[in-house]
Amino acid sequence: MDRRTLLTTVLASGGVLSLAACGAGEDPLAADPGGEGTATSALVIGSANFPENELLAEMYAQVLEAAGSEVERNFGIGSREVYLRALQDGSIDLIPEYNGALLAAVSDGGVPEDVSTSEEVYEALEEALPDGLTVLEQSEAQNKDSLTVTRATAEQYGLTSIADLAPVAGQLVAGGAPEFAERYQGLVGLEEVYGVEFAEYRSLDIGGPLTVQALLDGDVQVANLFTTDSSIETNDLVVLEDPQDLFLAENVVPLINAARSNAQIAAALNAFSETLTTEKLTEYLARVQVAKEPVADVARAYLQANPVEPAAS
């Protein structure tokens, strides 16, 4: 089975992983029931349905509009399996991605064991992407998966790393993204690499408020959160170290339908990626998650503070 066939099979079965929180129960892709893409020349920018990805997508949109491109926004799509299918069928054209998680999703046979750094992951990703999809330059900014616990839980069980969970995980309930339960960079790898098996896993949301609240309320004791999540600092949570590098490098990278990419788009987004660091992303994401500022306003403020200057083509 070739990679494209494999991915098509995975995506067809992965549709059930779409999150229910896609905009008041509506499917953001429902406007194109024929699955043949939109009848417009505008570049359709999508996002997954968690705040950071929506912020990045809005940044992409404003950068491209400033560069003279016509764009449409189609945010809050849901899980990777759903939006990869949308990219392939033309329902959307561009989405912010994370190189490690994307590599795991499209790799035939899983991510190679010798691949972990940002550069290694990016090179492997370029080789693994199915025909018709391509990535532009990745940013320095990373947002990795993590297993995070409250300070009280860390002290109670002596937890500093994921390895410390092995002898006590059977007493604990974990929670997070629905697809985390099925992925190697999730429960599958936790059992294989660390010998960690939780008493229960609860499907909540993708690094969002449901997961954070469940952790704070004690409904789960271990949460799958992203490392740029401002709730980690504001609630004095503890991110467990990952000494075996189960969670790959996760640099932010634009994933685009190759047929819709051009020199103007590439130059603008590559220049934007050059400005983005983990520290900046965390700072501006807090304005969305904590200060509750509108995503469009935060994206505009970022771009005013970090001007994008595309290289001459």
Domain ranges of the chain: 3-142+250-305, 145-239
For the whole model, what pTM was predicted? 0.72
- What is the pLDDT, as a whole number, of residue 32? 44
- What is the pLDDT, as a whole number, of residue 24? 33
Q: Which tokens go with 172?
A: 């604990």
**Is residue 188 a contact partner of residue 269, using CB atoms and an 8 Å limit?**
no
What's domain 145-239's superfamily in CATH?
A: Osmoprotection protein (prox); domain 2 (3.40.190.120)
- Assigned architecture for domain 3-142+250-305: 3-Layer(aba) Sandwich (3.40)
Pairwise CA distance, residues 265 & 287, whole Å: 27
**Is residue 211 a contact partner of residue 224, using CB atoms and an 8 Å limit?**
yes
Q: Give, in degrees to the nearest 5, the angle at Cα 245 between 12 and 153.
A: 95
- What is the pLDDT, as a whole number, of residue 208? 83
- What is the pLDDT, as a whole number, of residue 313? 52
Pairwise CA distance, residues 238 & 222, whole Å: 10
Q: Which tokens go with 248?
A: 């790959």
Instruction: Spell out the per-residue pLDDT of the chain, length 313, in tens.
Output: 443 333 443 333 333 333 323 333 344 555 443 344 444 589 999 999 989 999 999 999 999 999 999 999 999 998 888 999 999 999 999 999 999 989 989 998 778 877 888 999 999 999 999 999 999 999 999 998 899 999 999 999 999 999 999 999 999 999 999 989 998 889 999 999 999 999 999 999 988 899 999 999 999 999 999 899 889 989 999 999 999 888 889 999 999 999 999 999 999 999 999 999 999 999 999 999 889 999 999 999 999 999 998 776 5
Any idea what DSSP says for residue 16? Answer: G
Pairwise CA distance, residues 200 & 42, whole Å: 45
Say yes or no: do domains 3-142+250-305 and 145-239 share a fold: yes
**Is residue 203 a contact partner of residue 177, using CB atoms and an 8 Å limit?**
yes
- Beta-carbon contacts of residue 252 (< 8 Å; ≥ 6 apart): 56, 96, 97, 98, 138, 139, 141, 142, 143, 273, 276, 281
**Is residue 82 a contact partner of residue 15, using CB atoms and an 8 Å limit?**
yes
Q: How distant is the alpha carbon of residue 70 from its chain centre?
A: 25
Give the 3-state secondary structure of residue 123: helix
**Is residue 165 a contact partner of residue 222, using CB atoms and an 8 Å limit?**
yes
Length of the chain measured in residues: 313
